[in-house]
Every structure is written in C-alpha cells, then in structure tokens.
Structure 1
Amino acid sequence: DILGRAIAKVAPKYLGQSFAVVNFTGGSGTVGTAEVAKAKPDGYTILMAAIGPLVSQPHLNPVPYKVPDDFVAVAYLCEFPMVFTVKADAPCDDVKGFIEWGKKESKGLIFGQTSGSVLTLTLEEFRMKSGANMRYVAYNGTAPAITALLGGHIHAVPAQPAGIAGFIASKQVKVLAASSEKPIQIAGKTIPTFKEQGYNIVMTAWNGVLVPKGTPPEIIKKLEEVFRKISMENEEYQDAMKKLGQDIVFKTGSEYKAIIQRDYQRFGEIIRALGKK
C-alpha cells in the first residue's frame, strides 16, 4: 500500500494516464494477489507484489493461484530487511539484551506479526538459532501488531522499515537489529545487523510488479521501462523510498522471476524446518 501510493504519485508522468491504488485486504496478501491472477491480461491491472503471498503463504495454505505460472514478472523495485522492533522503554538495547530479558520472563516474551509472513519466519529462524525464550501470536499485519506493542500486550514485532519509520521518528519504538548484510538507516537512526551482533540471520524481502499471465509482451516491455525510469530517474520517488528505509534496487522482469523462484524454494525449506507444513 505504501509503495503503491509512492508509485501512484509519479507514475502518471510516465504512463500518460492516472494510476489508481486499490487495496484488497485479507489472507495475508493472498486475496489481492488472487484478484490480479484472474484479471484481464491487458496491462491495466498490475500487482504491487509483496514477497509473502508469493513465496511463503502458498506453502502454508491453499491459494487460488500458482507461483510463478499465473503471473509474468515485470520489474523488481525495492528490497528491505526485517527489523526487530521493541517498545522504546523496553529493558534492552540490543539482541543480547533481549535474550537476557527473556530469561527473566517465565512465560517468555511474545512477538506478533502476520502468520506465515517472511518477517515472522525470519524472527522464528532467529528464535531457533538463538534459543531465545519467545513465542509467537498472530496479528493481521504490522499496524495491529505495533498497536499491541505500544499497548504493552506483546514485547516485539518483526517489521519492515516502512511500517515503523514514523514510530521511530516519534520515539515510540526502537529497533534492536536488521536482517540485512549491512547496517541501515531508518528515520535518521542507524540500525545494526543481527550478523554483527553474532547471529547469522540475513533476509532481504522485496516488492515488485507482476501482471496476469497472457499479458502481451509489448505491454510488459513498456511497463518494465516505465518502472525502470521511475526507479532510476524520479527524485520524488527516490526521496520517498529513502525516508521509508527501503532500498531502490531495480531489476528486469527476467531477473525478478528468478528471484521469486529462488525465494519460493528457500522459504518452503524454512517452513518445513519449523514444522509448519
């Protein structure tokens, strides 16, 4: 939604027509993904694709589309890590401190996020590798999970930078680690990695553009070029993405398809290791 609105502000300049954002809620993103899969393949309906509905949810629940067969990849737009978020007054400032905090809580610390999201699965991977005394409670997305965090109902949220940038700026939350290879900046704060704190947790989520299978090649080519120009040339879009803590990384449709296939396999393996399937 946030990415779609950033695109919508600048896309008309390149498309020569309006760009409307339509939200489909539910199913951890699978409802909207399914809508695009069955849409008329004329180039007028595109999916601002998130990683979860394509590479993790199909391993957890039946979905009415096939990955990647029911789509054509147009462009890879941006990537971002999972950021391990706690309330600003939490009694820890790093990953080790969080683990020590958990040892003092007999019932364990609670983290919340969408069931089966790659953000959730990445923090589950951390729990397995670190032995942290923590357990998971499902929420319908980052916003309700953050509300629960601020209300003191849970102790942590695995989020994406765009979802918590405003809360960092208002000093309501702090981030203990990012699942990136290098430290990142969010709302003027430098976030250290899990890796530099001694935990080999590296995961980069992404967003991209897909269209229904059967979309004419000339339309796909035009859309790919539009998104390339937006990504590489539009300063308004670049500034918006920087503030959200998301790195613009443009890749072609063929490159994006390979990434989808790779991550579909990777998260399938993680889900099986967790015994969720």
Structure 2
Amino acid sequence: MTSSPAITLRRRIATGALLASTLLGSLAATGAARADEYPDKPVKVVVAFTAGGTTDILTRSVSNLLGQKFKQSFIVENKPGAGGNIGTEYVARSAPDGYTLIVDSVGPIAVNSSLNKLNYDPLVDLVPVIQIADVPNVLVVPPDLPIHNMKEFLAYAKAHSGKLNYSSTGIGTSSHLSSYMLMQLNGVQATHVPYKGADALNDLLTGRVQFMFATIPSVIGQIKAGKLRAIAVSSARRSASMPDIPSVAESGFPGFEAGSWFGMFAPKGTPPDVIAKLNTAINGILPQLKDKMIAEGADPVGGTAADFDTFTHAEQRKWSALIKQMNTKAE
C-alpha cells in the first residue's frame, strides 16, 4: 500500500530531526573531548608590548607555570606597537580554539578605543579568561621637594598652580589619566608633559618635572634607593608591594581609583570549557607567584571570568567618560 503524501512528509521530518539530534550530540561529545584534551599542542601567549616590561615579565611567569601544569609549551610572543593595539588585534583575529591567547592591560582593553578608531572592539572580539594582577600607580616626586604626604602635595600644588609640570608615559596612558583625575578633583592647574619610554622617569629624576603617577614596578627601585619619594598609591586600598604608603582614597579622596591591571583574554568564540580550564589553572598557580609579584609591584587578583568581564566593561565606561571630558586623542 502506498503511503499518503502527509505520512511521507511526517516520516521525513522525524528522520531529519533524529539525524540532527544525533549530529548535535556527536558535536557536543567532540567539543567535550577537545576541552578534556586541551592543550594537546603548544599555546601561543601574545604580549602586545616589548620584551622586558611589566606585562612581558608577568606573562612569562604565568606561562612557565601553565606549561608545567599542562605539560605543554606556552610560548610567549611579543607583538608591540600602537599602544598595544597591534598585538591585541592580532589575537582578536586569531582562531578561537584556545591556542592563541593574550595577556593584556587597561590601555588596549579599556582606554584605546576612546583615543583611536580601531578595526576591532576589544570588549566584543575578545573574551576574558581571568584578571591576573592589579598594578597600581604611585604618585612620586623628587626627594628635594618639601612633599611627604598628600596634604603637603596638595598645599604645594595649589601654591604653585599653573607652574608645575607632570610627566607621563604618553597621552591616554594610566599615568596621564591618574594625574588628570587628581588635578580635576583639586582644581589644580599643571602642565602635562607626555613622553615615550624612560624619558618620563628621567626628567622626573632630574627635576625637570615635579611629579608623576608611575606604575609601582617601574619606580620601586628608585623609591627604595631614595631617588624618588612615594606619596600615595592610586589603588582603592594600599598595595601589598608598598604597605606603608597610603592610598589617594584614604588620604581624603574616597572613591579615587586608577592604575593598570593585567589579565588573560582569548578570541571571541573560544569554547567556554577551554576558558574555564584556563581560569581554574591560573587561579591555582597565582599563590605560587604571589611573593614574586608583590616584590615586583603587582598585586595578584584571580577570580572568575564573569567577574573580569564585569570589571573590564566598568573600566571602559569610566575611562571613556574621562577621556571625553578631557577632549584628547592619542599622539
């Protein structure tokens, strides 16, 4: 007996649904197997800055321990340029398979999109894995200035309003934005002198400029040697690297928080199981790095990928609003 067209159609639909279900189940099993096996080949970890800097040193420490844990190579590759944009875009355009990652910082992730027109959106084209460290800035002055704390700094700045110069490592960098925030809160006028590289610190050491917010790792040696005086840190709380130095927030400016941070990201579309595996692994190795990181001026963070995602979006909103107020663009 010949089946009716309606019955034949129903059979075809049922058969198609069964095949689709089988295929999806197979794909899910394959994805799970890949996550279980990850990593089964070397992983590239990009640093968007030059070798020897804070980001590079931190990334190599983390990558070394990840390699030991997974018994697989985590190879650090430096791709500097354009304030971190070149390396960041490279990873954003990479295959989302977990084998190309980046340890990035506040500039490329939360600031640069407000300074330049980018060919990618770091908050869309990258997914957060984990915040590795908070790297506060510290307000430093030459030791010959009569400034030992925030009260004396503000009194001196107001008495010399319009006559002071402050250095930074470039327009839109965390050192620039931290100083601008502090000046705005106090109504003090000072001239921003942007530099590239070590000259920002050199001119502070020689007294050509009077103050600077610098990352703790970049000046901790000069502070210990007495060549610079630390006044306050820009983090919400005191830094473990400098427990005797108060925060700006506790020195009369509650809510003041600025500085740099570092975290790992992967290309959009990287399997969630791979993100989770990396997150768990890095949370597990951070205690091993704690003393080393603190000695170098970084405070370990850790936490979930979701926490880091919320944090990066909040950072982008904060810095975007400030840069809009400043009406500035990158050099």
C-alpha displacement of 1:256: 1.0
One of 52, 71, 93 as aligned partner of 2:126: 71
Question: 2:94: which partner in 1?
Answer: 39
Residue 20 (1) aligns with residue 75 (2): yes
Higher helix share: 2
Identity of aligned residues (%): 28
Deviations 1:86-115 (A, max 9, x none): 223333112232334343476323222221
Deviations 1:216-237 (A, max 9, x none): 33322221222111124x2xx1
Between 1:255-264 and 1:19-28, the stretch displaced more is 19-28
Asked whether the 8 Å contact 2:233–2:247 carries over to 1, the reply is yes
**More RCO (CA 8 Å, sep 6+):** 1
Structure-1 separation of matches of 2:63 and 2:192: 35
In 2 relative to 1, CA 259–183 (structure 1 residues): closer, same or farther, beyond 3 Å? closer
In 2 relative to 1, CA 123–214 (structure 1 residues): closer, same or farther, beyond 3 Å? same
Question: 2:5: which partner in 1?
Answer: none
One of 308, 311, 329 as aligned partner of 1:259: 311
Structure-1 separation of matches of 2:161 and 2:314: 38
Question: 2:268: which partner in 1?
Answer: 213
Q: Which amino acid letter does the alignment assign opposite residue 132 of structure 1?
A: V
Structure-1 separation of matches of 2:199 and 2:89: 24
Structure-1 separation of matches of 2:143 and 2:326: 30
Question: 1:117: which partner in 2?
Answer: 173
Question: 2:323: which partner in 1?
Answer: 271
**Number of residue equivalences:** 272
Instruction: Name the larger-Rg structure.
Output: 2
Structure-1 separation of matches of 2:169 and 2:196: 7
Q: CA RMSD in A?
A: 2.2
Q: 1:221-236 maps to which residues of 2 (within 5 A)?
A: 221-232=276-287, 234=288
C-alpha displacement of 1:125: 1.0
C-alpha displacement of 1:211: 0.8
Q: Which amino acid letter does the alignment assign opposite residue 147 of structure 1?
A: N
Structure-2 separation of matches of 1:208 and 1:106: 37
Structure-2 separation of matches of 1:110 and 1:275: 19
**TM-score normalized with structure 2 length:** 0.75
C-alpha displacement of 1:3: 1.5
Q: Which amino acid letter does the alignment assign opposite residue 78 of structure 1?
A: A
One of 47, 50, 53 as aligned partner of 2:105: 50
Unaligned runs of 5+ in 2: 1-55
**TM-score normalized with structure 1 length:** 0.88
